[in-house]
Structure 1
């Protein structure tokens, strides 16, 4: 028995590896980067958890969601592995204890969000820590062709280089061949070290049985009742698109005598946690949820997953049904949805495409080439009327075009409260270090209790007195004081700093806008590809495997509606009244008046007005509290493009 087999048995209590785990772990332990493309619930996490115990230094895990971190940390704790996370829910003392454990080498695995890597104080800390392995969980987020593109993930290859991390391990459950190639290229992973185990799940029965929207609640009750009232009722997740649908449907099921709870991002954290705990413990057999539920949920005995509304993509569908039957026992996955929510899903996509004028507003703020461009994302989002996620994408595109280059991020404001008299703090140091501390205090005027650091004033004092008052040294010193309990330190307003490499002309603005429009078109095509998947003939399991490039799945699984000869036809929603019969002037008058009263009458473009009528938000609409106005979402059942074209006439 070799070393990794011994660790598998001794630490984790397993006799054998699952498919794919051994070659991934062997690659990492041998010093190579690798990628694990395994179905949901197939043991991707063990690939880094076991490997970390055979590496000399820290394993740094980047994960997109707190729920994923907490679930994996609980597993590691149960197996006696020293692991921790740094996240926004922690107190300063808790975060400091984690960082102390990492610095001493006592913590083997540290989990953080990708945003944490942009934190100036964290980067100053982690640069001093030797790291053996960077793990990227949900690694498909790095590809703009993936179903959950996160622009910040594109910075990870640069971060790996800056921190001198020798290896990377990429983990994902849902990646098409194009996305896998994109991931591999970003991290220079050899093709033979990309291990994909296939997407076929022999225990899942896939059913596409769509019904019209008004009949769907009753059909769901008829499907659930025998499964909940039998001798061994099974847990079921019902996925919906909108928060209000989750609330209404959970209430409907409850009135029918089927205990159910709603779960969505609009609930407070305590309620979400309580409802999740009740579902996990079996006290609530049915959870009606938006996609806010599921990531990182490690419940092995879910017997049913129902799509009451259309999923967002084939990848989302695969990920969501993958939460059923993780224990290997039979589970059912039912698709009830028709096309009635197609416009809602399409409109979500349209809402993230910035107007050409909005892109020009961003590029107009760039200084001359050679100068630094500093901004806070929220302010730039507000001023340009581009939502934060597409704005991050725009910044990445400007970087890829060679227009800007990221330099660093920092908190615009630092303030501290002394926990001992200033004289006592200064007296702890001698010589140049004492003069340095005196300069910090002198450049930090006090208002009542808190001192606010003025870095410009400190820079002038440093120049006058021959002191090194560089930003990195100052932040390191403040962190040291905070670690020792000498001060309480607070920071806020993350500022991004880019170097401008070349000017932006109209042609580039047009190209950037075209890239967003092309991405929008690709997302719409993905939605229609999903419809084609559900309405196609033959084995549904085989067609799903083909989407992910899995040639190993059987041609006919025998446990899907396709194999049973049930070819689906997704019902269309009732035909809405023609737009031409409506009074556009009346519908948009409340927003026009609100914009005019705020001195922004010129902002009432057809695109902004269409967003308002289709129930989509933007920073400008949020600022003007458009949700409270008559007319908001009045045309949410109509395709955004049609509404925009109608208003343009």
Structure 2
């Protein structure tokens, strides 16, 4: 019998009709066509996979970038009686086992995970054993290197999809330029007619850019926050700013709270829940807050500091007015924070010596064509932050230098919940012999034991995967408790490609180009804020929506208020003598502590010291405690570099 999707929508979700784009996307998916859906924030992207999942035969696997986003969507699905769960870091071992048992039994329609979960050897063994109807990638712009939130691990999703034989894919995002849209579709072979893009324009959002000095920001913020009834979000760049601004609002009798990644999970969860329930009116937050916050009645979003890009700006203002009622989006703008936004970009570019260190590590540590990576250890040794190191590894994959084979936990331990004899009594024949072999080839230390995989391979001819699956099963059946640590990634190495004398320069050039692209993205944001033509129209056009009106009538430019941004005051450099002393202090502190090829302090290391940018070497050797650290943090990085060059 043919599915009546409108009747199903009413019965399951209680909605009388689909929103724009939803019906087309769902119809395509149910016809077996992978799709890309680009809808504005708050326009119902999630319903597309939720509805389709109910009418597909097997599990729908959803990759989501944030825990908060997963939890909100799971709560919604539970309210509709839809069986869904997540596997994430907050689950206890027994809860994790329960979710996996429900998946295996076919009791769940939707399972949500982070992309990092695929690195987990145990998860990959598990998910490979169950049939999957559809892969959903939420915030799918993370797949694209052209996007603003590129995450290297997302590049591996097409390969995971192939490995798991998933026949159907749905990509979801709110922010995609034309280049990002093409890139996403290409990676999953989604044809153009299955790209569903609704209008980006939001007629209920009033966009305003208000030039204001840093000294006057608090007064301006208080004026806006006091005059607008309802909930609001104030975005800042730094964690300490969130706390200072929230304290200021509270001192002026507004119900505000700070939110940032420096708080523990419990505190962040508590603040979010209070905000959602109306117990807190205003959240002053870094960008750690917002993704997955589905609160319909946010009446204002204020950018106290500059956002990172036009894409970030559009995502953040998109959290206002999801109920369709008028809402205000105000940017308190000057150029004072430009250095902070730019310096984050420069801090993520590895030095050429660091890239060479990674390549030398691959050459010297590989065995039988395989190279094993412990990310944190290599990040510290090479002085490359973990995220850019992941990006470096992805580039090595794309250049054919390394190929990921599998990941495993270097340390796998278990302890008995039931006795050996009780466990063995559950099995017969070869399976009993196999379980017994695992127990016999385990090095027990008091309570916990570590299986000897090499001995098992030699004496029982079984591979690591079968042992892991057996231990997983024993944990699921409450026979043992399993513990795994020290994620290790194994790569096959192409020695010929690794021997390319230009390889390090090629990689370094990639990062420099990426750095400049991000700096240009920030410059585009400043140009957008200083436009003398409609902000709403140009924001829509940036995201390839040509249907927005030429003049919206509800932005600051349409009201005749064209912004010109400037610095609040002229900054004075510290004296050359004090800067030389600071650099000399750094040199003395790090002398003899750094291994080749990082043994000589570079110009970039001096710049990062003065700019206050944290890199692994600084954390390991307590450089932040030195006098002179961050003494130039209010200056732009390019200017700091020029200053350092003049001093050397």
Q: Indicate the TM-score class for this superposition, using the shorter chain for normalisation.
A: over 0.9
Shift of 1:634: 1.4
Aligned pairs for 1:227-376 (under 5 A) are 227=228, 233-367=229-363, 371-376=369-374
Give the 3 Å change call, closer, same or farther, for CA 43–599 of structure 1 in structure 2: closer
Which deviates more from structure 2 when the two are superposed, residues 326-335 or residues 588-597? Answer: 588-597
Shift of 1:160: 0.4
Tell me whether 1:447 sits opposite 2:442 in the alignment: no
Question: Aligned to 2:218, what secondary structure does the other structure show?
Answer: helix
Measure, in 2, the Cα distance between the counterparts of 1:431 and 1:195: 55
Q: Does the aligned pair in 1 maintain the 2:579–2:628 contact within 8 Å?
A: no
Tell me whether 1:609 sits opposite 2:629 in the alignment: no
Q: Give the root-mean-square deviation of aligned CA atoms.
A: 1.6
Which deviates more from structure 2 when the two are superposed, residues 84-93 or residues 609-618? Answer: 609-618
Measure, in 2, the Cα distance between the counterparts of 1:603 and 1:642: 23
Tell me whether 1:567 sits opposite 2:562 in the alignment: yes
Tell me whether 1:112 sits opposite 2:123 in the alignment: no
Measure, in 2, the Cα distance between the counterparts of 1:288 and 1:327: 21
Aligned to 1:410: 408
Tell me whether 1:468 sits opposite 2:465 in the alignment: no
Which deviates more from structure 2 when the two are superposed, residues 10-19 or residues 421-430? Answer: 421-430
Aligned pairs for 1:360-399 (under 5 A) are 360-367=356-363, 371-399=369-397
Which deviates more from structure 2 when the two are superposed, residues 370-379 or residues 201-210? Answer: 370-379
Aligned pairs for 1:583-598 (under 5 A) are 583-596=578-591, 598=593
Aligned to 1:519: 514
Question: Aligned to 2:488, what secondary structure does the other structure show?
Answer: strand
Q: Does the aligned pair in 2 maintain the 1:240–1:288 contact within 8 Å?
A: yes
Question: Aligned to 1:87, what secondary structure does the other structure show?
Answer: coil
Measure, in 2, the Cα distance between the counterparts of 1:296 and 1:474: 38
Given the two structures, how large is their TM-score scaled by the length of structure 1? 0.96
Aligned to 2:171: 170
What residue ranges of structure 2 are gaps of 5+ in the alignment? none
Aligned to 1:230: none
Q: Does the aligned pair in 2 maintain the 1:595–1:603 contact within 8 Å?
A: no
Tell me whether 1:48 sits opposite 2:41 in the alignment: no
Measure, in 2, the Cα distance between the counterparts of 1:474 and 1:90: 23
Q: Does the aligned pair in 1 maintain the 2:573–2:632 contact within 8 Å?
A: no
Q: Does the aligned pair in 2 maintain the 1:403–1:504 contact within 8 Å?
A: no
Aligned to 2:154: 153
Give the 3 Å change call, closer, same or farther, for CA 597–563 of structure 1 in structure 2: same
List structure 1 runs of 4+ shifted beyond 6 angstroms: none
Question: Aligned to 2:71, what secondary structure does the other structure show?
Answer: helix
Shift of 1:370: 6.3
Specify which of 480, 502, 510 is matched with residue 487 of structure 1: 480
Offset from partner CA, 1:191-218 (integer Å, 9 cap, x none)? 0110110210000010111201111111
Measure, in 2, the Cα distance between the counterparts of 1:483 and 1:603: 52
Aligned pairs for 1:67-78 (under 5 A) are 67-78=68-79
Specify which of 612, 615, 620 is matched with residue 617 of structure 2: 620
Measure, in 2, the Cα distance between the counterparts of 1:258 and 1:603: 52
Aligned to 1:635: 632
Offset from partner CA, 1:488-524 (integer Å, 9 cap, x none)? 1101111101101232333111010000000000000
Question: Aligned to 1:491, what secondary structure does the other structure show?
Answer: strand
Shift of 1:597: 6.3
Q: Does the aligned pair in 2 maintain the 1:579–1:646 contact within 8 Å?
A: no
Which deviates more from structure 2 when the two are superposed, residues 542-551 or residues 281-290? Answer: 281-290
Aligned to 1:577: 572
Question: Aligned to 2:630, what secondary structure does the other structure show?
Answer: coil
Measure, in 1, the Cα distance between the counterparts of 2:359 and 2:587: 27
Measure, in 2, the Cα distance between the counterparts of 1:504 and 1:40: 47
Specify which of 455, 458, 463 is matched with residue 457 of structure 1: 455
Question: Aligned to 1:441, what secondary structure does the other structure show?
Answer: helix
Shift of 1:607: 1.2
Question: Aligned to 1:365, what secondary structure does the other structure show?
Answer: helix
Specify which of 528, 535, 538 is matched with residue 533 of structure 1: 528
Give the 3 Å change call, closer, same or farther, for CA 425–274 of structure 1 in structure 2: closer
Q: Does the aligned pair in 2 maintain the 1:253–1:259 contact within 8 Å?
A: yes
Offset from partner CA, 1:530-552 (integer Å, 9 cap, x none)? 10001011100011011111001
Measure, in 2, the Cα distance between the counterparts of 1:8 and 1:154: 34
Offset from partner CA, 1:138-185 (integer Å, 9 cap, x none)? 000000110100000000000000000001000000110100000000
Question: Aligned to 1:366, what secondary structure does the other structure show?
Answer: helix
Q: Does the aligned pair in 1 maintain the 2:152–2:391 contact within 8 Å?
A: yes
Aligned pairs for 1:20-99 (under 5 A) are 20-99=21-100
Q: Does the aligned pair in 1 maintain the 2:201–2:536 contact within 8 Å?
A: yes
Question: Aligned to 1:189, what secondary structure does the other structure show?
Answer: coil
Q: Does the aligned pair in 2 maintain the 1:411–1:491 contact within 8 Å?
A: yes
Give the 3 Å change call, closer, same or farther, for CA 80–603 of structure 1 in structure 2: farther
Aligned pairs for 1:425-436 (under 5 A) are 425-436=423-434
Which deviates more from structure 2 when the two are superposed, residues 558-567 or residues 627-636? Answer: 627-636
Measure, in 1, the Cα distance between the counterparts of 2:577 and 2:203: 52
Which deviates more from structure 2 when the two are superposed, residues 124-133 or residues 497-506? Answer: 497-506
Measure, in 1, the Cα distance between the counterparts of 2:576 and 2:13: 66
Question: Aligned to 2:487, what secondary structure does the other structure show?
Answer: strand
Which deviates more from structure 2 when the two are superposed, residues 482-491 or residues 40-49? Answer: 482-491
Measure, in 2, the Cα distance between the counterparts of 1:524 and 1:499: 35
Measure, in 1, the Cα distance between the counterparts of 2:502 and 2:638: 24
Total equivalences in the alignment? 639
Given the two structures, how large is their TM-score scaled by the length of structure 2? 0.96
Question: Aligned to 2:333, what secondary structure does the other structure show?
Answer: coil
Measure, in 2, the Cα distance between the counterparts of 1:220 and 1:197: 33
Question: Aligned to 1:35, what secondary structure does the other structure show?
Answer: strand
